[in-house]
Structure 1
Amino acid sequence: MSEPDIAVRVRGVAKSFGKTRILNDITIDFARGEVHALVGENGAGKSSVGKIIGGYYSADEGTVEIFGEPVTRFTPHDALGRGIAMIHQELQLVPELTVCQNVFLGKESNRASFLARGDRARFEELERTCGFSLNPDAKVATLRIAERQKVEIMRAIAREAQIIIMDEPTSSLTEDEADRLHALIGRLKEQGVTVIYVSHFLEHILANCDRVTVMRDGRVIRTDPTAGETKQSLVDSMLGEAAEISWPELPPRPLPSVAPVAEMRDVSTDTGLSGISLEVRPGEIVGLIGLVGAGRTELGRAMFGADPITSGHYAIEGVRQERLSTHRAVENGVALVPEDRRKQGLVLTQTTRPNISLATLSEISRMGFTQPRKERRRAQAIIDHFGIVPNRVDGDVAFYSGGNQQKVLLAKWAVARPKLLILDEPSRGVDIGARRRIHEFVVEMAASGIGVVLISSELEEVIALSHRGYLMSEGRIFGEVDTRGLTVEAALNRIFAQQGGEHMLAPQQQEAAQ
């Protein structure tokens, strides 16, 4: 590859946080006009490489060249000036500003940093390019995670960057939305833009990337064209062993005669739920099957007392819940792992130990004071059980990889031993190794007699890990299904038929779904 073809050259880069080494001797070339994937388990260092190129981290050792020029003391502002934009896995938006204001933040037409009339026209043109159907006047604080992710993507495109780093860009998108993003990436590639694509969706990488760099334990294992790769070959390189891609075996499904741990009858909320009726039995994994916007997250929040129920009947272990709050829900044995772990699940100013203890302080306290030795022993045991890295009770959670942050959040509820566990996108932004451990955790919880409600945008995941499921669309449950033998295609056909049939699968796909 000749010198002019290199957009980014990384040579011998190393990075540490305190005593923890996160990158070792990273050497990669990213070519002009290519889509180059970085894959690896969470904690492998792929996001950290992106942040060094994007100016968010500075390298302790080694060099970085952008279009042949060395960069030093790099900041995100410097990176933007050199034509580099980054789409973060943990979204970097201003909640109280509108979609349009966030998209053009720092790039407003008006010198006083106010949007001018021309910016609305710029937004409309950008919307035609991206096809995301976002309301430019909506406050970002009111948007779902998937919609916020679209705003991040639009903001990067609006900067007309020549190098775009995409960190898990499809983690909250539906397959249809992901397809539109990949078509957009293809157009950017034709214009000579370099896309550095960090993702745990191996199918997306194989279908849309030119080359792939596999990382493990902060090191580069290899870089090769995706044309010669398979999902299995990538997994083997990521884990350093031949590893079968499989789902854990579910525990036996409880009999219908078993009394439900949670029951809803004709429940409605101000958040868009209407006429919801469902049951969850002890030891049962119940999946909520639907697309983004179907109301799955809202249903989980209502069951946890985060959103008030305006009408209908909700009972936990047969006791009707009136004016349920999150505090009372926890007291009644209900737990929620939210879809946004950083903003809603973890306390990033605290270390691993207090994050794990947060929901069960009474168990490690005496006369209002925590017992440090007991707390540390319990925290270390659950850290070992989940394989959290780094293996330290006082690790700085804010700097953990996404997968290890998610494990800490799951560990908090594992020690709480709830009666009902609601998991909203438990494997979002998580690599294949951490995902496997999370799947095992879901099965462990059910096997111990806990009722589990599973929400996932990956229909294959929610179908494979559920005993049965409820089909959702537009805030309603419109069907109950036995997930044994259910295919993703069949589920999508039922969902699209409920929405009016405009997106029904092709005839050959329908045959495969039968």
Structure 2
Amino acid sequence: MSTPATGPHIELRDVSKRFGDVQALSGIDLTIERGSIHGLVGENGAGKSTLGKIIAGIHRPDGGELRVDGRSVSYRSAREALAHGITMIAQEPTLVPLRSVQENVFLGIEENTAGVVNQRVLSRRYSELVRESAIELPPGQLARTLRVADQQKAEILRAIARKVSLIVMDEPSSALTRDESQRLFDLIRGLRAKGTTIVYVSHLLSEVIDLADTVTVLRDGRLIRTAPAENETPERLVSAMLGRSIDVTFPEKKPPPADAPVVLSVQGLSRPPAVQGVSFDIRAGEIVGLAGVIGSGRSEVARGIFGADRLAGGEVKLDGVRLRLRSPREAIRNGIVMLPEDRKSQGLLLLRPIVDNVTLPYLDDVSQVGVIRRRAERRQVGQLVKRLDLRAKSDRARAGTLSGGNQQKVLFARWLFQSPRVLVA
């Protein structure tokens, strides 16, 4: 086997990018070595995804230079970057909903004769791809019926199928179980062994340290440092990301007092076949985690508490009072709110501005005789935007134009607009 080429694969020189009034990147100087795994870490809004999208041709920089294999390039689209062997697995899946998994994986690179796709060849290629990657998905299943984690797997298969030389992976393990993540890491290491360069964006710092060769820290759109992963620890990375000590930023979480009142009581909750007889209590100020593999019923329990799924049995009590949650509207009215698994399809109105997304459940509270009091509404939303450090050019920016982290902050702002009793996330 020939030894993969080494040396700089990607070079960014004084790269900057602005979205309206928001400076997403400033003066980025970065070299990514060929055949390496290069980690990108930083807070929400630090510029990680923007940097990845510039490399992949999705965004064009406002200033500076992008060099690939020593040559200056100016990609006008992701298609141009793909022609140079670069692709991206986005944080949010971009599958065609009414097409099958197999069709999505090979979309644009199908083999055809006289314009007719050879399905037999496509099926054989798909089987080979599954065997190579150890990622198994039913080839004929429609993309819109896939769980979020399975959509992410399909995106990974699609990137591998293109046999590119560089893949930008933006939070690829965020919806995967531990075992699935481990298989993904083995796959990534295998790609590196064959000479593929991986730019790996993640909030999971231990994961980045274990997987990457080199880690770059971004903060407020600026490059703070680049260092070998073996020299980093999660604590050092957090301090670099935030500019302050981890002890100050994340003080030790103390458990609630033993006599703290039970706020939420779930008894015998059932929704066959996924959930049978689930019971637990949550005290005031307590954070309770729901753990389990995909299909274990975690999402069904969460959606049942929020009234999004009708329960077959059991009861939910809030402050000792039994609730009949037939819809999310009733849950919200009682102070139970939820951050959904898929914020784009289940949480946000992507074409509406931030302010509308935040106040949507509370229009009666910001209205007078049926007319929304816009000045008061924007004042309250503005306070939340500042409190959460939500980065957008204004509260009139469309939710769909925001980064993934800032979209999540919009949902947090929605539920903080009034004081909830229980947050399901």
Query: TM (normalized to structure 2)?
Result: 0.91
**Paired residues of 1:269 and 1:307 also in contact (CA < 8 A):** no
Q: Secondary structure at 1:108's aligned position in 2?
A: coil
Cα shift at 1:347: 1.7
Matched residue, 1:186: 189
Residue 155 in structure 1 maps to residue 158 in structure 2? yes
2:385–2:413 Cα contact (<8 Å) kept: yes
| Alignment partner of 2:206 out of 203, 206, 214 | 203
| CA distance in 2: counterparts of 1:174 and 1:82, whole angstroms | 33
Q: Give the CA deviation at 1:155.
A: 0.8
For 1:380-391, list aligned pairs within 5 A.
380-390=382-392
Residues 100 and 140 in structure 2, CA contact (< 8 A), matched pair in contact too: yes
| Equivalent residues of 2:266, 2:314 under 8 A apart | no
Alignment of 1:272-311 (within 5 A): 272-311=274-313
2:56 to 39, 54, 57: 54
What SS class does the counterpart of residue 416 from structure 1 fall into? Answer: coil
Do the aligned residues in 2 keep the contact of 1:85 with 1:161 (CA within 8 Å)?
Answer: yes
**Residue 35 of structure 1: aligned partner:** 37
The 3-state SS of whatever aligns with 2:246 is: coil
1:373 and 1:320, CA in 2 relative to 1: closer, same or farther beyond 3 A?
Answer: closer
Q: Relative to structure 2, which stretch is displaced further, 343-352 or 306-315?
A: 306-315
Secondary structure of 1:23's partner? strand
Q: CA deviation at 1:243?
A: 2.6
- Shift of the 198–143 alpha-carbon distance from structure 1 to 2, 3 Å rule, reads same
Q: Which residue of 1 aligns with 2:128?
A: 125
Structure 1 segment 100-499 matched on structure 2, within 5 A: 100-110=102-112, 112=115, 114=117, 116-244=119-247, 246=250, 248-250=252-254, 252-253=256-257, 255=259, 258=261, 261-269=264-272, 272-315=274-317, 318-321=321-324, 324-390=326-392, 392-423=394-425
SS in 1 for 2:296: coil
Do the aligned residues in 1 keep the contact of 2:21 with 2:392 (CA within 8 Å)?
no
- Count how many residue pairs are aligned between Structure 1 and Structure 2: 418
Distance 1:394 1:266, change over 3 A: closer
Alignment of structure 1 residues 19-98 onto 2, 5 Å: 19-98=21-100
CA contact (8 A) 1:254 1:283 kept: no
User: Any idea what SS the aligned residue of 1:274 has?
Assistant: strand
Unpaired segments of 5 or more residues in structure 1?
424-514
The CA distance in 2 between the partners of 1:134 and 1:351, in whole Å, is: 36
Q: 1:392 Cα deviation (Å)? A: 4.1
Any stretches of 5+ residues in structure 2 without a counterpart?
Answer: none
Q: Distance in 1 between matches of 2:129 and 2:377?
A: 52
Is the CA contact 1:16–1:22 (under 8 Å) kept in the aligned structure 2?
Answer: yes
> Within 1, Cα distance between the matches of 2:226 and 2:87?
23
User: Is the 1:261–1:318 contact (alpha carbons within 8 Å) kept by the matching residues of 2?
Assistant: no
CA–CA distance in structure 2, aligned partners of residues 60 and 157 of structure 1: 30
Q: 1:315 to 1:224 in 2, by over 3 A?
A: closer
Task: Give distance in 2, aligned partners of 1:20 and 1:113.
Answer: 47
Instruction: Return the offset for 1:36.
Output: 0.9
Q: Deviation per CA, 1:35-73: give whole Å up to 9, x if none.
A: 111111111111111101111111111221222332224
Once the two structures are TM-superposed, the CA of residue 115 in structure 1 deviates from its matched residue by 5.6
CA contact (8 A) 1:106 1:113 kept: no
TM-aligned CA distance change 1:349 to 1:248, over 3 Å: farther
How far does the alpha carbon of each residue in 1:457-495 deviate from its partner, in whole angstroms, 9 at most, with x for none?
xxxxxxxxxxxxxxxxxxxxxxxxxxxxxxxxxxxxxxx
In 2: Cα distance, 1:254 partner to 1:331 partner: 28
The answer to whether the 8 Å contact 2:105/2:154 transfers is: yes
Does the CA contact (< 8 Å) of 1:359 and 1:416 recur in 2? no
Shift in Å at residue 286 of structure 1?
Answer: 3.1
Secondary structure of the corresponding residue to residue 381 of structure 1: helix
Q: Provide Cα deviations, 1:103-139, integer angstroms capped at 9, x if missing partner.
A: 1111112253746211111111111122122222222
Question: SS where residue 358 of structure 1 aligns?
Answer: helix
CA contact (8 A) 2:56 2:86 kept: yes
d(CA) in 1 for partners of 2:370, 2:386? 28
Report the residue type matching 2:106 in the other structure.
F
